[in-house]
Structure 1
Amino acid sequence: MSTPVPDITALARRWRLEVNTGTSATPVWALCPGVTEFQPAAEPNIEDSSDYEGEGWAGNTKTGQSWELSATINRKVQETAKVYNPVHEALRLASFAYGSASYVHVRYMDRSGLPEAYEGRALVTWAPSGGEATALDQVEVTLTGDGPLLPIENPLAVGGGA
């Protein structure tokens, strides 16, 4: 008889965020390093659809959905070249742009290869945290979805690419 393996609790740090630094036709997925906090949300819009046939029971209908991802990142810099991490820069520059340049194509997934993974297009809000002299240079990044957040096959899953 084999010994049962107990379930373990997943950790919040399981998420990996990537930004497409290529094109839609030829994506180049690059890691967003330095993530210290990660909060995805995909909230449905639910409207009351109650009617007399419900005999007093409420009816509800999902009429839409939105998504947002909030992350805190430690700003990474290449000290000798005097440049910031290119993914951080892509996010920062998109936050100041208009039109198509204001969107980023992102995906995030469970870094251990579990099945949870998503992809979508988003607008960027970039808000430096500031702080005292001993604080790290951190930025609050909010990705506000434009269109669907699609479940995808986790590229880090066994047999997947990445």
Structure 2
Amino acid sequence: MSTPTETALARRWRLEVNMGTAEVPDWQLCPGITEFEWSAEPNHENSTSYDSDGWAENTKTAQEWEVVATFNRKHTPDQTAYSPVHEKIRTAFFAYGEDHNVHLRYMDRNGLPEAYEGKGLPNWEPQGGEYTDLDQVQVTFTGNGPLTPITNPLAP
């Protein structure tokens, strides 16, 4: 294996939404992404005892994750329908219970090993703007359960 010398680009991320079911997934691209960020913050609690000889000890007790994606809203050429993936996210925002969950995965679009899957609760925030601006929406997915590392489906 050669030594890595190239810098990865932020646009390497690809977001997909399961348009099918858990039993028969139908992964489809979330088109038009212009910004993408994710985090998975652990919760550490102080577990120091007298046995540590004065050194602090910590224990990971929980973890939460979040994905923030901004995308250009896509519609059909005759302006009669939006992207089905965008619509799934938007309608989930207004739903309750299991229908509020969006099953998503994101991965390195170049096939490098980094890839994750989970269910997130969407917060749909239209960005507005001036008359010359594109119609953009920022969606924050708050993790609902685990964020699982997966094998990148785009890997060679």
1:135 Cα deviation from its structure 2 partner: 0.9
Letter in 2 for 1:73: F
User: Runs in 1 of length 4+ with deviation above 2 angstroms?
Assistant: none
Matches within 5 A, 1:1-162: 7-80=5-78, 82-158=80-156
**Alpha-carbon distance between aligned partners in 1 of 2:132 and 2:111, rounded to the nearest angstrom:** 36
Give unmatched runs, 5+ long, in structure 2: none
Secondary structure in structure 2 of the residue aligned to 1:157: coil
SS of residue matched to 1:100: helix
What is the deviation of 1:36?
A: 0.5
Aligned residues: 155
| Secondary structure of the structure 2 residue equivalent to 1:42 | strand
Q: TM-score, normalised by structure 2?
A: 0.96
The unaligned stretches of length 5 or more in structure 1 are: none
Give 1:65 deviation, angstroms.
0.5
Q: What amino acid does structure 2 have at the position aligned with 1:74?
A: N
Counterpart Cα distance in 2 of 1:86 and 1:111: 21
Given the two structures, how large is their TM-score scaled by the length of structure 1?
A: 0.93
Please give the root-mean-square deviation of Cα atoms over the aligned residues, in Å.
1.2
What amino acid does structure 1 have at the position aligned with 2:29? L
Shift in CA distance, 124/6, structure 1 to aligned 2, threshold 3 Å: closer
**CA positional deviation for 1:56:** 1.5
Q: Shift in Å at residue 79 of structure 1?
A: 2.6
